[in-house]
């Protein structure tokens, strides 16, 4: 995934565009994160929660949530000159998981957002990326009034693979979200390099 553009001296430089998924449980802040960091108006596929949907979706802890993503959120952010990230926010409910395989094709890695009030909601996303060997960082979305946990505690509670980064963030804050994405790109880059070296050895 990439394209070429001319530099000021008439030469060709490569502009790299990387695909990143933003995943996690229902109501954890995926749409908020994509919207906060995107430099373009984000594409959203949200629908109002219906009474029928409320019997299917667990809204405990997110009682004020009125909409839900039914396909994906899409945004773009330029990390530095020549490096852009295309962000695809996944739907959080099990009934929309048939979209995940399609969205994950060609992805460099993923951000798994977690809410410490409902930590178990991110188990399916963690399992999904671990089983497919897609690098991810776990980002704890810090909600006001929620108990704070250390990265090591969360890593142990979720039984994360050794070395998987756990970072604190505020999904509403652009700089905080950008820092999470930078950590993911760095981590995914190390993982892909290590795999290339393993396969060459």
The answer to whether residues 35 and 42 touch, using CB atoms and an 8 Å cutoff, is: yes
What is the pLDDT, as a whole number, of residue 63?
A: 53
C-alpha distances in Å from residue 172, one per residue of 28, 30, 34, 62, 112:
11, 10, 9, 16, 15
Is the Cβ–Cβ distance between 92 and 45 less than 8 Å?
Answer: no
pLDDT at 96: 67
Q: Are 111 and 188 spatial neighbours (Cβ–Cβ below 8 Å)?
A: no
Question: Tokens 């394209």 map to which residue?
Answer: 3
- Contacts of residue 117, Cβ cutoff 8 Å, sequence gap at least 6: 61, 143, 146, 147
Residue 109, beta-bridge partner list: 20
Supply the pTM of this predicted model: 0.80
User: What pLDDT, in 10s, does the model give residues 155-176?
Assistant: 999 999 999 999 999 999 999 9
How far, in Å, CA of 154 to CA of 150, rounded? 6
Q: Give, for 83, the enclosing helix (H) or strand (E).
A: strand 83-89
- Give percent above pLDDT 70 in the chain: 76
Q: Tens of pLDDT along 140-150?
A: 998 777 777 88
The dihedrals phi and psi of 117, each to the nearest 5 degrees, come to -75, -20
Per-residue pLDDT for 46 more than 80?
Answer: no
């Amino acid at each position: 995934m990439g394209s070429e553009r001319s530099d000021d001296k008439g030469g060709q430089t490569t502009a790299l565009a990387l695909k990143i998924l933003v995943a996690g449980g229902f109501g954890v802040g995926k749409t908020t994160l994509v919207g906060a960091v995107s430099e373009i108006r984000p594409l959203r596929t949200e629908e109002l929660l219906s009474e029928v949907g409320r019997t299917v979706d667990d809204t405990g802890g997110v009682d004020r949530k009125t909409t839900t993503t039914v396909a994906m959120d899409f945004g773009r952010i330029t990390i530095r000159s020549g490096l852009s990230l295309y962000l695809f926010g996944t739907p959080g409910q099990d009934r929309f998981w048939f979209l995940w395989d399609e969205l994950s094709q060609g992805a460099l890695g993923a951000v798994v957002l977690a809410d410490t009030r409902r930590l178990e909601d991110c188990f399916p996303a963690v399992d999904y990326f671990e089983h497919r060997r897609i690098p991810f960082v776990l980002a704890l979305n810090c909600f006001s009034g929620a108990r704070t946990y250390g990265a090591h505690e969360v890593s142990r509670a979720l039984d994360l693979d050794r070395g998987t980064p756990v970072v604190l963030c505020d999904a509403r804050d652009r700089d905080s979200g950008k820092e999470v994405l930078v950590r993911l790109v760095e981590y995914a880059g190390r993982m892909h390099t290590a795999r290339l070296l393993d396969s060459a050895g």
